[in-house]
């Protein structure tokens, strides 16, 4: 199947002026016109939409620097800056001009002519510019994602506070293991998500570095000031080696990896919500606003949001794999393969951001069925481990022998349809006698506590354990950490705003000088 040219922009009769412009700024006298199919195939304008305002800003910052270093005449530079300011954020881009960089340069040249506008790309290249723009958009995404994550953490911590004494079965292998509390379980999810926040904050510093001034790969003979441009654009430093600056996308792969791990955590949480909302578990009542029904089965309430979070995690893995594969055999420095990596970044960021937000909103409204949880705790054999520990404590029987004794007791109870409580009363002493020769008696109060799930949880007050006091301590600590993480975002945004102010002041002062000259 070929490309449908009939609906492509190339079918239109190109006006001569347009062809000349393209030939002048893009292909020079070096190459003849690009074949339309090749132009469409290689254009990046679709995903360049994300980059427009950053590319405009980079052009302006670079021009400020060229003016201040006396490389470009002040008035000419100012005309370029003004032409850049006139470009609308929703600029219509022409795929024949390949990408956002050439479209913006073309618009400036169209406005101020190529004697002045032709200076715009002096001492820079699309290679350093695109790497810089990606980093600027990505750092904003990181701050937005980190902020959403903080809100999600806040909701989980609130749900923990509400459920410090809500008992539930803890699972291993999806089999009843030991009693825990819902707060303890939810906090486990919180802590994984907290590490996702940490990872993003940690990665931010490798993203927020400026490649500008690397030019195509080998910098320039003009005495440019790379640090000045980095400063104006809010970067914390440079990607110093100019070849590294244009070649690497490891910062992007690092973020996609962070997001892949993050989505895995959201997916595991979502999977539990799906499982817990089944008739079989009935632990969770999903909010109607976040469920759908069936077009044929009117009784259905499907946990579709949670299902899709699970599915969308896979898409981020796909993006990660595609990005790694694009990079792995790429010779240094720039190759157009890198262009195809970029959409994977935006797709991953958007998927993750929307997934976090929808999970947070849904989680605020999820109802946990405490009665059902208690029923499950009572009906199971969850206190068997504590019974083993009681035998060790009270009767000085070694752990392994006690484990064997309680194993036999559980087997007998299950065979005879007894509860653990009943089996303890009727069979424990005999089993111990048969296996150890010991005649024992355990005080009733000790046995009562052993078989009481609340006591089981309370006694597990070891650091990180399920006792309400311990979980409450952990929640308070996490709340403090969360405050710090909110502050981190505020600080980063402040520093970007500060750079913006500096940037505006520089432009203002250029305008002032121009005014006084006139």
Among 319, 342, 402, 467, binds ligand ARG (CB under 6 A): 342
Q: For residues 256 and 387, which CB has a smaller minimum distance to ligand ARG in the complex?
A: 256
Q: Is 76 in the site for ligand ARG (CB under 6 A)?
A: no
Q: For residues 102 and 283, which CB has a smaller minimum distance to ligand ARG in the complex?
A: 102
Only segment of 316-324, 331-339, 346-354, 492-500 that touches ligand ARG (CB under 6 A): 331-339
Among 338, 376, 397, 406, binds ligand ARG (CB under 6 A): 338
Q: Is 44 in the site for ligand ARG (CB under 6 A)?
A: yes
Contacts of 283 (CB under 8 A, 6+ apart): 168, 276, 277, 368, 369, 372, 373, 376
Among 126, 153, 190, 478, binds ligand ARG (CB under 6 A): 126
Distance from C-alpha of 489 to C-alpha of 500, rounded to nearest angstrom: 16
Only segment of 107-115, 337-345, 391-399, 420-428 that touches ligand ARG (CB under 6 A): 337-345
| Min dist. Cβ of residue 209 to ligand ARG (A) | 18
Q: Is 130 in the site for ligand ARG (CB under 6 A)?
A: yes
Only segment of 75-83, 122-130, 255-263, 292-300 that touches ligand ARG (CB under 6 A): 122-130
Distance from C-alpha of 392 to C-alpha of 87, rounded to nearest angstrom: 78
| Min dist. Cβ of residue 292 to ligand ARG (A) | 38
First-last CA distance in the chain: 61
Distance from C-alpha of 313 to C-alpha of 259, rounded to nearest angstrom: 9
| Min dist. Cβ of residue 84 to ligand ARG (A) | 18
Tokens of 95: 């795929």
DSSP 211-262: -TT-TTTT--SS---HHHHHHHTT-SSB--SHHHHHH--HHHHHHHHHHHHH
Only segment of 61-69, 89-97, 123-131, 228-236 that touches ligand ARG (CB under 6 A): 123-131
Name the β-bridge partners of 179.
169
| Min dist. Cβ of residue 63 to ligand ARG (A) | 19
Q: For residues 339 and 467, which CB has a smaller minimum distance to ligand ARG in the complex?
A: 339
Closest CA to 367 of 453, 266, 282, 472: 282
Only segment of 89-97, 233-241, 310-318, 332-340 that touches ligand ARG (CB under 6 A): 332-340
Contacts of 452 (CB under 8 A, 6+ apart): 383
Only segment of 79-87, 143-151, 330-338, 405-413 that touches ligand ARG (CB under 6 A): 330-338
Which residues participate in catalysis according to the annotation? 173, 294
| Min dist. Cβ of residue 37 to ligand ARG (A) | 18
Q: Is 178 in the site for ligand ARG (CB under 6 A)?
A: no
User: How many CB atoms sit inside 10 A of residue 515's CB?
Assistant: 8
User: What SS3 state is found at 72?
Assistant: coil
Contacts of 190 (CB under 8 A, 6+ apart): 153, 156, 157, 160, 478
Among 99, 105, 470, 485, binds ligand ARG (CB under 6 A): 99
| Min dist. Cβ of residue 141 to ligand ARG (A) | 17
| Min dist. Cβ of residue 264 to ligand ARG (A) | 29
Q: For residues 95 and 466, which CB has a smaller minimum distance to ligand ARG in the complex?
A: 95
Q: For residues 339 and 456, which CB has a smaller minimum distance to ligand ARG in the complex?
A: 339
Number of residues that bind ligand ARG (CB under 6 A): 11
User: How many CB atoms sit inside 10 A of residue 206's CB?
Assistant: 15
Q: For residues 77 and 213, which CB has a smaller minimum distance to ligand ARG in the complex?
A: 213
Tokens of 255: 């973020």
Q: Is 127 in the site for ligand ARG (CB under 6 A)?
A: yes
Distance from C-alpha of 501 to C-alpha of 499, rounded to nearest angstrom: 5
Burial class (CB in 10 A: 0-12, 13-18, 19+), 405: buried
Q: Is 168 in the site for ligand ARG (CB under 6 A)?
A: no
Strands 167-172 and 175-181: antiparallel
Distance from C-alpha of 78 to C-alpha of 239, rounded to nearest angstrom: 28
Q: Is 336 in the site for ligand ARG (CB under 6 A)?
A: yes
The residues binding ligand ARG (CB under 6 A) are 44, 99, 101, 126-127, 130, 334, 336, 338-339, 342
């Amino acid at each position: 199947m070929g490309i449908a040219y009939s609906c492509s922009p190339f079918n239109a009769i190109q006006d001569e002026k347009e062809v000349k412009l393209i030939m002048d700024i893009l292909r020079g006298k070096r190459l003849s016109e690009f074949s339309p199919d090749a132009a469409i195939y290689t254009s990046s304008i679709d995903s360049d939409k994300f980059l427009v305002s950053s590319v405009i800003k980079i052009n302006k910052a670079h021009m400020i620097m060229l003016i201040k270093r006396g490389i470009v005449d002040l008035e000419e530079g100012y005309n370029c800056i003004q032409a850049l300011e006139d470009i609308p954020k929703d600029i219509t881009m022409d795929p024949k001009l390949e990408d956002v960089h050439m479209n913006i340069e073309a618009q400036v040249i169209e406005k101020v002519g190529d004697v002045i506008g032709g200076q715009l790309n002096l001492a820079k290249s699309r290679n350093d510019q695109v790497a810089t723009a990606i980093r600027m958009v990505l750092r904003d995404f990181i701050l937005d994602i980190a902020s959403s994550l903080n809100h999600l953490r806040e909701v989980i911590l609130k749900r923990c506070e509400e459920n410090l004494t809500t008992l539930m079965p803890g699972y291993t292998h999806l089999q009843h293991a030991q009693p825990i509390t819902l707060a303890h379980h939810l906090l486990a999810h919180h802590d994984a998500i907290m590490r996702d926040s940490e990872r993003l904050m940690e990665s931010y510093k490798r993203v927020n570095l400026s490649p500008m001034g690397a030019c195509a790969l080998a910098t320039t003979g003009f005495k440019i000031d790379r640090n000045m441009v980095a400063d104006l654009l809010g970067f914390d430093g440079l990607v110093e080696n100019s070849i590294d600056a244009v070649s690497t996308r490891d910062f992007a792969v690092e973020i996609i990896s962070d997001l892949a791990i993050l989505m895995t955590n959201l997916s595991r949480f979502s999977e539990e919500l799906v499982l817990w909302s089944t008739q079989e578990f009935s632990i969770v009542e999903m909010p109607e606003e976040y469920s759908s029904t069936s077009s044929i089965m009117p009784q259905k309430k499907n946990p579709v949001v949670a299902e899709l979070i699970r599915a969308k995690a896979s898409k981020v893995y796909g993006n990660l794999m595609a990005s790694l594969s694009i990079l792995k055999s790429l010779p240094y420095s720039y190759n157009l393969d890198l262009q195809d990596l970029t959409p994977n970044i935006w797709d991953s960021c958007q998927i993750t951001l929307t997934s976090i937000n929808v999970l947070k909103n849904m989680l605020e409204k999820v109802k946990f069925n405490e009665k059902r949880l208690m029923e499950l705790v009572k009906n199971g054999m969850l206190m068997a481990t504590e019974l083993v520990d009681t035998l060790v404590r009270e009767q000085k029987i070694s752990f392994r022998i006690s484990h064997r004794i309680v194993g036999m007791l559980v087997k007998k109870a299950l065979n005879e349809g007894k509860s653990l409580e009943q089996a303890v009363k009727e069979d424990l002493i005999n089993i111990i006698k048969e296996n150890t020769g010991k005649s024992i008696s355990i005080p009733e109060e000790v046995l009562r506590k052993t078989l009481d799930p609340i006591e089981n949880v309370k006694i597990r007050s070891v650091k990180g354990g399920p006792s309400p006091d311990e979980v409450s301590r952990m929640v308070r600590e996490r709340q403090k950490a969360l405050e710090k993480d909110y502050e981190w975002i505020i600080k980063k945004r402040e520093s970007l705003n500060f750079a913006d102010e500096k940037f505006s002041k520089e432009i203002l002062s250029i305008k002032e000088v121009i005014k006084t000259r006139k």
